[in-house]
Amino acid sequence: MDEKLFQELASSIHEAGKIQRGATKASRTFEFKDVDVRQVRAKTGLSQLQFAALLGVSAATLRNWEQGRRQPTGPARALLRIVNAKPRLAFEALHSELLAA
């Protein structure tokens, strides 16, 4: 490995450690608002079972999200944002085989 690249990497690791310990502040942070899953589902007009099937999650997972016991993360959060913005387009993309029949 190139010495300069190694030094940059080592410096970044040390800085991350300081941030983790609270010794220094991060130069930037990102915050993502929680998704109101119940509102997104209501926008689609689907039942909990139908919406859970659309997303590929269990009905229990969907209920936990809607009741605030858990929050969707990662790909589920991204998919919910897509469904919220373009519900019909999301349904068509996720289940095009049903529409072709």
- Could you read off the pLDDT of 24-78 as tens digits, one per residue? 888 888 777 788 999 999 999 999 999 999 899 999 999 999 999 999 998 999 9
> Which one is predicted more confidently, 21 or 100?
21
pTM: 0.65
Q: Which two tokens mark 40?
A: 């997104």
- What pLDDT is attached to residue 83? 94
Architecture (CATH level 2) of domain 37-100: Orthogonal Bundle (1.10)
- What pLDDT is attached to residue 2? 87
The rounded distance, in Å, linking the Cα atoms of 45 and 91 is: 12
**CB contact burial 48-69 (16+ within 10 A = b; e otherwise):** eeebbbbbebeeebbebbbeee
**Domain spans in the chain, listed from the N-terminal domain onward:** 1-29, 37-100
